[in-house]
Amino acid sequence: MVGIMSQEYSGIMIYAEVHDGVIHPVTFELLGKARELAEKKGTKVLASIAGYKVKELAQELILRGADIVYLVDDERLKSLDVMAHRDAVLKIIQKAMPEAVLFGATNTGRTLAPRISSYLRTGLTADCTDLFIDEKGNLVQVRPAFSGNIFAHIVTKTRPVMSTVRYRTFKPAERDPGRKGEVIELELGNLGETGYRVLRKMEREKVNISEAEVIVAVGRGLKKKEDLQIVKELASLIGATIGASRPLVDDDWISRDHQVGFSGNIVKPKIYIALGISGSPQHVVGMKDSGTVISINIDQNAPIGEYSDYLIVGDLYEVIPKLIEQIKKIKEGNSPS
């Protein structure tokens, strides 16, 4: 089964991720990359969209760079029934025969893509940070390995080539209000019992740290759980999300959704302020691509320094209260009273 190589496959397809009628922004990043790859190969950009009442979203995919949108609109796709959505995307792939299919490496993308690739007995590469066409015309998938110490270039010998692509890595495709494209609608057909039933959507109590623009992260430099209060105060003053290194999470000082690092979250904020974080490899892999990195550490030789634009050498218990005080003063000065 493995080893299918055929000229019948053409076009770069993206999977449009939709939640509650809204297109997930990773979709536009995939469209941007797909346009670039398709132009290099002289082929079309295809989009796959499956859901309920998603017809009007197809047009948006065209304005963002899709040439043909394959659509399955069915009430049975209203909730995220993994088995039903798998069937819908399989229908689309089997009809469109794309040479590549790109998914966002979001939880949903990483849930559906391996089921589909496994069904098709084709290769799937996880969490790519780059994709390009080499001189032989192969689609090369680049993914970090060994905590980002190396990058593996992966080639797939079966078709379609399938990848999940890391969110917030590529620039989103620009919207061209005059763009034209084609929409092809497919039927979901007979589904049967999927064995998967969505009972209810729950409220997210967690923070979505991977989308934060400013992060104030704290590590072992904090002596006790109660002291998180000063970190919270600083974060709320500047509209930052609180991050934490693994030991604090393992000790239940703060929930895992705040964790930055390999076993937590990969973050890419504009500003990353690291308080009392030494900078273990497992932490650094989660934050090294941030914009400006400022660290406050008592040890001038802490490894975090190598990943920092500014290293403030001092005790966080002295620096933070002073910083808070100054920020408050500035804020009072700004207010019209």
Partner 1 sequence: MRPLQIIVLMKPVPDMEKVKFDTEKGTIIRESSELQINPFDLHAIELAVQIKEKVGGQVTVMSMAPLHAQEALRDAIARGCDGAILLSDKRFAGADTLATAYALASGIKKLGKFDLIIAGEKSVDGDTAQVPAEVAEFLNIPHASYVSKLIDVGDDAVRVVTEQESPYEVELKLPALLQVTKEVAKPRVPLLKDKLRARKASIEIWTAESLSDVADVKQFGFSGSPTWVAKIIVPKPKTRNKQVLKPEEGIQKIIEILKKEGLL
Residues of this chain, 296-315, that bind partner 1 according to CB under 8 A: 296, 300, 305-314
Q: Which stretch binds partner 1 (CB under 8 A): 47-55, 62-70, 147-155, 176-184?
A: 147-155
User: Minimum distance from CB of 181 to partner 1 (Å)?
Assistant: 26
Closer residue to partner 1, CB minimum distance, 183 or 207: 207
How many CB atoms neighbour CB 268 within 10 A? 20
263 binds partner 1 (CB under 8 A): yes
- 226 CB neighbour count, 10 Å cutoff: 9
Rounded to whole angstroms, the Cα distance separating 228 from 212 reads 19
Nearest to 54 by CA among 33, 40, 75: 75
- Specify the stretch interacting with partner 1 by CB under 8 A; choose among 30-38, 66-74, 81-89, 220-228: 81-89
For residue 136, CA distances in Å to 40, 57, 155 come to: 12, 36, 11
Among 66, 154, 215, 230, interactor with partner 1 by CB under 8 A = 154
Q: Which range touches partner 1 (CB under 8 A), out of 37-45, 122-130, 170-178, 179-187?
A: 122-130
Q: What mask, x for binding partner 1 by CB under 8 A, covers residues 167 to 186?
A: --------------------
Q: According to the binding rule CB under 8 A, does residue 236 interact with partner 1? A: no
Q: Of 168, 171, 109, 146, which is closest to residue 289 (Cα–Cα)?
A: 168
Of these, 63, 97, 140, 207, which contacts partner 1 (CB under 8 A)? 140
Q: How far is the CB of 2 from partner 1 (least distance, A)?
A: 5
Q: Is position 52 an interface residue for partner 1 (rule: CB under 8 A)?
A: no
Burial 230-261 (b: 16+ CB within 10 A, else e): bbeebbeeeebbbbbbbbbbeeebbeebbbbb
